[in-house]
A and B are shown apart, each in its own frame.
Chain A
Amino acid sequence: MEGLEQVITQHKIEIGRGAKVVVDWLTSNFEWLFDGITYGLRVPIEGTVDLLLAIPSLAFVGICAAIAFLLQRSWKLVAFVILGLLLILNLGLWKDMVETVVLILYATFVSLSIGIPIGIICSRRPWLYRLLSPILDMMQTIPTFVYLVPTLIFFGLGLVPGIIATVIFAVPAPIRLTYLGISQVPTALVEAGESFGCTRWQLLWRVKLPAALPTIMAGVNQCIMLSLSMVVIAALVGAGGLGRPVVRSLGQANVPLGVESGLAIVIVAIILDRLLKRRATQRAGAGQV
């Protein structure tokens, strides 16, 4: 027995070193790609941040309130948006808030443009989904810090590794819910589509996607919330935003700053969630087929 244990302990399988070799190989061979991604993401993100910061903050509050009313027709939500954003302005976290919103929007955009097509492909090939499913589980359970290290090596410090880490964490939601939504489209609707001579594309665009839209939108919402929960982690690698004061308050044991920036994150989360919920009247019809 002891001999066996010795054999096991003395011949360590070099998983970690293997991973490092892969990372090194990727760094030296695909530097151009990573640099391209970094540049391609940084320029529009920083541009958007500058653009939004150029708007006077009170006007920005007004625009957000108008969007809230147009999307949801609810005065309660409009009041919440105005008060919440004014509070963030008052706390001096305005610039951080804008950075966070932009970060989330880009992370969500990237996640959706990867996740929804993959979800659609999976719904056509269930074996692919069975293959992907454990990988998606892994992406959401591996502690973020573990993949943050190679991400840093590939993309350097700043916004971009923050977004990449966020996308890794958030992309399973749209993949799963798109797949789920499309596979749950009632057969009756698909057959109705087929019986009127839909091609495969028409079936996707005219029947399956619209029928799955409520579920896909739930995926979008989840994706945004997951991105938001990565704000603090992203700040660790220098992404900026509301995570930065949180990280600073942690380092300085600064309770007031921690509470204030935490409150600001919560306000942004609630606003984004309520903005993107389906309206109650729309939801009434969605359940029936």
Chain B
Amino acid sequence: MSQNAIRFEHVDVIFGQNAPRAVSMLDQGQGRDAILDKTGCLVAVHDASVFVNEGEILVLMGLSGSGKSSLLRCVNGLNTVTRGKVIVHDGNREVDVARCEPETLRRLRRNRISMVFQQFGLMPWLTVRDNIGFGLDVRGMDRAERDRIVEEKIKLVRLDKFADKFSHELSGGMQQRVGLARAFATEADILLMDEPFSALDPLIREHLQDELIELQQKLKKTIVFVSHDLDEALKIGSRIAIMESGRVVQFGVPEEIILNPVNDYVRQFVASMNPLTVLKGGTLMRPVADLAREPGGTTIQLDRAGKCRCQLDARGKPVNLIVNGKPGEMVPYATDLDLAKLPDHAMVCGTDRTPMRAAVTVRSQTKRPLVLLGDDGELLGVVGEHEIYRGMLRQSEYARVNGAQPM
């Protein structure tokens, strides 16, 4: 699984007539503005080296004009790579998209890479059904097979009732779901998403992000996602590359970006993020090793007051849970869980990906911490009052450094 699906190696993208001169000026260490003045060429991306493994989501993040879209569009050849390599893993060989034959590129576009656009890019004269089938029709797939796949994808994005509508009859969120289904329909394992949710209003955007995460758990695509929103990047990204003026300034997993921003540019992004949705239980928690244990005993205290206690079995699963003096019960966290109706011997459990917002809600409604369990049910740690405060303080720390208002 951990094979590079796409690898960018020292990619330069330069727009304009006089690219060779611009390249040599770049090598002399001249800046973008000087190059634009002298040659009329725009250096969109300079020396970008990042990668994404199969089944992961890479988010290219930055302000507008930072080159994130330009870099993304190299993968399917919508932009031409001026220098460097864009290696796409294709079956058991590797293809350099920057230098491959037009037929190879077309084959990749038809079978291996599909794309979702910011402005949806739906054909206004086609119905939802035919838009979704577009990539299959281009491929020349036979009718029955195509109809079967289209039907399946329409259900996947829950637009079955709108199959015969035209795109202008749908809301923005629905149009982008059509865009997603169209991209899924070709069964390509690489999905390029160019600010797919930016044109939508915030509520719909969150909703579609959740849907994408849910779909991704089922489909396990390799996704390169462009975003200007760190909250979005942290929420969906397995890896994040932060870009500034055409360069990748930081490339790493979300925790690394939050904990060790490399410069002020990144720090500003971090300062303006929303910790409630961005910080995950795994980052916040007090790990099981740091939890208080009863002297000489095997019993672990899950909260400070020691009202919630448990023991661990051989595989680290919590057993013999005692809450408020009664045998306790674990209730998995869900957004629609009615916390007020929980009995007072119940504890809510989540995973290391449960957002801080959930921990805050659980804590304030039940007065007990959120318990985090691993994939096999083993105890990872807890998120209580102190962990929540710590998360928020870290946030305000960044805000203070940058002179911004604490959130």
Contacts and interface: CB of A to CB of B under 8 A. Distances in A.
B123 A189 contact: yes
A210 B166 contact: no
A206 B113 CA distance: 20
B107 A197 contact: yes
Given A196-B138, A196-B186, A210 B125 contact: yes
Contact of A288 (B76, B78, B124): B124
Nearest to B185: A196
Contact of B119 (A188, A193, A197, A210): A188
A195 B123 contact: no
A197 B138 contact: yes
A197 B168 contact: no
Interface centre among A196, A197, A202, A213 (most CB of B within 10 A): A196
Interface residues of A, number: 22
A188 B78 CA distance: 11
A33 B70 CA distance: 55
Interface string A268-289: 0000000000000000111011
Nearest to B107: A197
Contacts of A199: 106
Contacts of B113: 195
Contacts of A289: 119, 124
Interface in B136-158: 137-139
Contacts of A195: 76, 78, 109, 113-115, 192
Contact of B114 (A189, A196, A213): A196
Contacts of B55: none
Interface string A171-199: 00000000000000000110111111111
A175 B115 CA distance: 34
A226 interface: no
A285 B123 contact: no
Contacts of B111: 197
B168 A207 contact: no
B54 to A, nearest CB: 20
B139 A194 contact: no
A211 interface: yes
A286 B123 CA distance: 11
Contacts of B109: 194-197
B205 interface: no
Interface residues of B, number: 32
A189 B182 CA distance: 13
A202 to B, nearest CB: 6
B134 interface: yes
User: Which secondary structure characterizes the binding site on chain A?
Assistant: helix
Contact of B110 (A188, A197, A207): A197
Interface in B111-135: 111, 113-115, 117, 119-125, 134-135
Nearest to B112: A197
A211 B119 CA distance: 16
A206 to B, nearest CB: 7
A210 B124 CA distance: 9
B117 A192 contact: yes
A288 B168 contact: yes
Given A195-B109, A196-B134, A189 B78 contact: no
Interface in B154-172: 166-169
A197 B106 contact: yes
Contacts of B114: 195-196
Interface in B60-87: 76-78
A202 B110 CA distance: 13
Given A195-B109, A195-B115, A197-B106, A285 B121 contact: no
Contacts of B139: 197
B249 to A, nearest CB: 28
A206 B137 contact: yes
Given A188-B117, A194-B109, A199-B106, A206 B138 contact: yes
Contacts of B115: 192, 195-196
B86 to A, nearest CB: 15
Contacts of A191: 78, 117, 121
Given A192-B122, A196-B182, 12 more contacts: A188-B117, A189-B123, A191-B78, A196-B110, A196-B134, A196-B186, A197-B107, A197-B108, A197-B110, A285-B168, A286-B124, A289-B119
The 6 closest A-B pairs by CB, nearest first: A197-B110, A192-B121, A197-B109, A196-B135, A195-B115, A288-B168
